[in-house]
Structure 1
């Protein structure tokens, strides 16, 4: 971060909002979606979907295979698992394709500084890497090649930064993956015990060795994902509750910003309490754009 002293003539009158030319960096599909073209991140995202597909296959075709027989146990668990899978995938896609809060690149120009209404001798911050006016609590991401407002961290599993605009979706992703992993673990262990106490041909369409291998791999995957995402979910909730991002905590930055109250900090990410808290289709509360030059359009 570099400090930039503004030496301009005083600007009379009040600041008038402006619209900057659309920043098309990190955009895809006709500029409709945010998209980070990082090979490692794309591989991690594909791995995430592949593991979810594997869990879907084992749960549906090995554990809950109806085989022409209807049971309430199978039906209820099928509905629960499919709902959780749908919400987890939706949260992942929303996290990956949402602008995390990128500051327009190259906006540290004399014209923009004048429109900010700054006076002669004022001091502001400029990012030397993407040449943007750096707002408070923003950090530069070397993968996204942008400064991100309230950046928490860059997560390769969603191939995106977690910041002001998509933190809600990331929290929901970790929550639903943790819950669906625990559910899959319960189903796998229960089915394995069932197979031990009955004939294998009655509890699986596959041979005993194949069934054991499929169930063991699902158990390993479920335990690993449950622990990892539960830890991530907990760390995100603590960060939101304390109004301190992961980077700020790691760097032990002194809080120069005015901290929100615990509940206000939660509402800043999820909005007012309601069912929409748990929906990946309800966007987070829009930040107050008092400084429109800090936002991509």
Structure 2
């Protein structure tokens, strides 16, 4: 189910903006058609008809209100240059060279917003913003009211369609009070079209709502789902078990996000954790995963040019185009002779960072200087997906693996600290800290 969540978000994220604009237009079409048919199906001159119309307008208003609040409130950005009050705690945190500060627990860098986001779940293209600490409740409420409103719209449109196509029968048998719906050609087409769209919204948005409710009940974001999955995978075959620090029980987990006013809980930096964990349990696990990711890095040499296209039909063929990675991460353009450090593999695609000829020299200079200042950030190199058939793997000495910049996680493009030697050191510090506690 975790992979299903990531796949659904990835597919939505790849939808171009004209299609999103069309989707919003479709929602308006469903709303206006539902109101038009409701006036005939259940006229508002009766108490029931008035309540029905009031309920639909209320649901529509709440959907729009929560949509706007989720959009303009935002997820909550971590301030630029942030660092913990206790300098000793920096060894448990990752550094973001873009924001030039440390990443607080549960914070991640979003390449779309270009900022570190508090308790980031994902970047949502519908609200053109991230979903996280400050707007998670608004976003979930938006999904809930949209689904409930679409269910009511589906009922109204089905009832209207049934009465409309049986209007002559009602008139023939003298049931004039039921022959209130009459169709023209375009009203019939729009009614059927709107009904199909309303049912589609119930299914599609209902799936997103399910994933969000499940995440709230577990007190886990989509990114933390992936971190936990990797944590459990690392411990397969051992007696060690990773304890997720933010799972406080279903009831308490819900209260950590949802409230009547939808206002965020806490400051987005310090979180309630289980008694057997601490504030940095998850960040220490991320550092350990980062160190293992460095060990998995493989160097590839480009033997065929990659165009950087999302659908390289003419250059790579149908097999590559029919099995793309379901993510909005960039595709990079590569030339013959380029070298790429790869960290993720798919059947027909690879994800990596193109290596600059001067990257080794820059890294060695930063390592030997051992500057204590975190204001100097390394130059970010192009990274993204490219077709697997364009490259062959090279044998690379282990000592050269420290020159690559890494993503913070599989979905969000973060930035790695310029002090490349700190991963293993931080991992040891985290383990020692746990033992002392």
Is 1:103–1:132's contact at 8 Å kept on the other side of the alignment?
no
Q: Is it true that 1:269 corresponds to 2:250 in the alignment?
A: no
The equivalences for 1:13-162 within 5 A come to 46-47=21-22, 49-65=24-40, 70-105=45-80, 107=81, 116-119=85-88, 122-162=91-131
> Does the residue aligned with 1:269 lie in a helix, a strand or coil?
coil
Which residue does 2:410 correspond to in 1?
Answer: none
1:53 Cα deviation after fit: 2.2
Distance in 2 of aligned mates of 1:52 and 1:120 = 48
Which residue does 1:195 correspond to in 2?
Answer: 164
Which residue does 1:214 correspond to in 2?
Answer: 190
Distance in 2 of aligned mates of 1:103 and 1:69 = 49
1:171 Cα deviation after fit: 0.5
1:149 Cα deviation after fit: 1.5
**Unaligned stretches of 5+ residues in structure 1:** 1-39, 292-297
**Unaligned stretches of 5+ residues in structure 2:** 1-14, 172-178, 232-242, 272-437
1:109-141: CA deviation from partner (whole Å, max 9, x where unpaired): xxx56xx23149945321133322101121111
Which residue does 2:148 correspond to in 1?
Answer: 179
Structure 1 residues 196 and 154 mapped into 2: Cα distance closer, same or farther (>3 Å)?
A: same
1:56 Cα deviation after fit: 2.5
Structure 1 residues 203 and 268 mapped into 2: Cα distance closer, same or farther (>3 Å)?
A: same
Q: Which moved more, 1:40-49 or 1:228-237?
A: 40-49
Distance in 2 of aligned mates of 1:179 and 1:70 = 24
Is 2:105–2:270's contact at 8 Å kept on the other side of the alignment?
no
1:61 Cα deviation after fit: 2.0
1:173 Cα deviation after fit: 0.6
1:210 Cα deviation after fit: 1.2
Is 1:103–1:148's contact at 8 Å kept on the other side of the alignment?
yes
> Does the residue aligned with 1:82 lie in a helix, a strand or coil?
helix
1:156 Cα deviation after fit: 0.6
CA RMSD of aligned residues (A): 3.1
Is 1:41–1:156's contact at 8 Å kept on the other side of the alignment?
no
Q: Is it true that 1:239 corresponds to 2:215 in the alignment?
A: yes
Distance in 2 of aligned mates of 1:194 and 1:78 = 18
1:181 Cα deviation after fit: 0.7
Is 1:62–1:211's contact at 8 Å kept on the other side of the alignment?
no
Is 2:106–2:118's contact at 8 Å kept on the other side of the alignment?
yes
Distance in 2 of aligned mates of 1:91 and 1:233 = 14
Is 2:107–2:116's contact at 8 Å kept on the other side of the alignment?
yes
1:228 Cα deviation after fit: 1.2
1:102 Cα deviation after fit: 1.1
Is 1:41–1:159's contact at 8 Å kept on the other side of the alignment?
no
Larger Rg computed on CA atoms: 2
Distance in 1 of aligned mates of 2:166 and 2:182 = 16
Structure 1 residues 100 and 288 mapped into 2: Cα distance closer, same or farther (>3 Å)?
A: closer
Task: Considering Cα pairs closer than 8 Å and 6+ residues apart, tell me whether 1 or 2 has the greater RCO.
Answer: 1
Structure 1 residues 178 and 68 mapped into 2: Cα distance closer, same or farther (>3 Å)?
A: closer
Structure 1 residues 61 and 290 mapped into 2: Cα distance closer, same or farther (>3 Å)?
A: closer
TM-score by length of 1: 0.70
Is 1:241–1:265's contact at 8 Å kept on the other side of the alignment?
yes
Distance in 2 of aligned mates of 1:247 and 1:128 = 20
